[in-house]
Amino acid sequence: MGAYDYDVAIIGSGPAGIAVATGLVRAGISNIAVFEREADIGGIPRHTHHPSFGLLVFKHPVSGPEFIKKLLKRCPNVQFQTSTTVTAINKAGILEIATPDGIKTLRARHIVLATGAREAPRHPRLVSGLRPMGVMTTGALQQFVYLQNLKPFKRAVIIGTELVSFSALWTLRQAGIKPMAMIEAGPRIKAYRPATIFACLLGVPIHYNSHVVDICGIDRLTGIKIENTDGKKQGITCDGLIFSGDFTGDNSLARASHLELNSKNQIPLMDQNGFSSDPDISVIGNAAHPADMGDQCYIEGLEAGQEIAKVLHNKSPTQAILIEHGPGIKVTSPNMVRVGKKGLVFQINLHVTKAYAGPITVTYHGKVIYRKTRACLPTRRISLKKIRLNAEIPVTDQPVKVMLGQ
- CB burial string 265-290: b at 16+ within 10 A, e below: bebbbbbbbbbbbbebbbbbbbbbbb
What does the pLDDT read at residue 391?
A: 67
pLDDT of residue 254 exceeding 80, the answer is yes
What does the pLDDT read at residue 393?
A: 66
Show which of 294, 316, 338 is a domain's final residue.
316
pLDDT of residue 2 exceeding 60, the answer is no
E strand or H helix at 85: strand 85-90
Decide: 240 and 156 in contact? Cβ < 8 Å: yes
pLDDT of residue 95 exceeding 90, the answer is yes
**Phi–psi pair at 138, nearest 5 degrees:** -60, -45
Do 304 and 373 belong to one domain? no
3-class DSSP state for residue 215?
strand
Do 87 and 134 belong to one domain? no
Please give the torsion angle defined by the CA atoms of residues 295, 300, 305 and 311, in that order, rounded to the nearest 10 degrees. 180
Pinpoint the alpha helices (H) of 74-222: 138-142, 163-175, 195-201
What does the pLDDT read at residue 349?
A: 95
What does the pLDDT read at residue 133?
A: 92
Decide: 15 and 297 in contact? Cβ < 8 Å: yes
Do 238 and 127 belong to one domain? yes
Do 130 and 240 belong to one domain? yes
* Mean pLDDT within 207-236: 93
What is the distance in angstroms between the CA of the first residue and the CA of the last residue of the chain?
A: 53
Do 219 and 132 belong to one domain? yes
With pLDDT > 90 as the criterion, what percentage of the chain qualifies?
71
Residue 61 sits in a domain whose CATH number is 3.50.50.60
Decide: 211 and 183 in contact? Cβ < 8 Å: yes
The span from the CA of 8 to the CA of 249, in Å, is 22
| CA-wise closest residue to 173 among 211, 197, 199 | 199
pLDDT digits (tens, 9 = 90+) for 14-35: 999 999 999 999 999 989 999 9
pLDDT of residue 37 exceeding 70, the answer is yes
Looking at every residue in the chain, the average pLDDT score rounds to 91
pLDDT digits (tens, 9 = 90+) for 158-194: 999 998 999 999 999 999 999 999 999 999 998 888 8
What does the pLDDT read at residue 342?
A: 75
* Longest Cα separation, the chain: 66
Q: Quick one: pLDDT band at residue 399, thresholds 50, 70, 90?
A: very high
Do 12 and 111 belong to one domain? yes
The span from the CA of 398 to the CA of 295, in Å, is 34
* Least confident residue range of 16-20, 50-54, 229-233, 347-351: 50-54
pLDDT of residue 1 exceeding 70, the answer is no
Do 114 and 262 belong to one domain? yes
| Residue ranges making up the domain that contains 192 | 121-245
pLDDT digits (tens, 9 = 90+) for 101-141: 899 999 999 999 999 998 888 877 778 777 889 999 999 99
Do 106 and 253 belong to one domain? yes
Instruction: Quote the number of domains for the chain.
Output: 3
3-class DSSP state for residue 243?
strand
pLDDT of residue 314 exceeding 60, the answer is yes
The span from the CA of 40 to the CA of 297, in Å, is 19
Do 99 and 53 belong to one domain? yes
What does the pLDDT read at residue 406?
A: 73
In sequence order, what E strands does 152-203 have?
A: 155-159, 178-183
Show which of 287, 316, 345 is a domain's final residue.
316
Do 81 and 185 belong to one domain? no
Show which of 245, 273, 308 is a domain's final residue.
245
| CA-wise closest residue to 286 among 248, 337, 257, 325 | 248
Residue 342 sits in a domain whose CATH number is 2.60.40
Taking the CB of residue 302, how many other CB atoms lie within 10 A of it? 20
What does the pLDDT read at residue 16?
A: 96
pLDDT digits (tens, 9 = 90+) for 64-92: 999 999 999 999 889 999 999 999 999 99
Do 22 and 113 belong to one domain? yes
Decide: 12 and 114 in contact? Cβ < 8 Å: yes
Do 200 and 305 belong to one domain? no
The span from the CA of 243 to the CA of 11, in Å, is 26
The span from the CA of 244 to the CA of 290, in Å, is 13
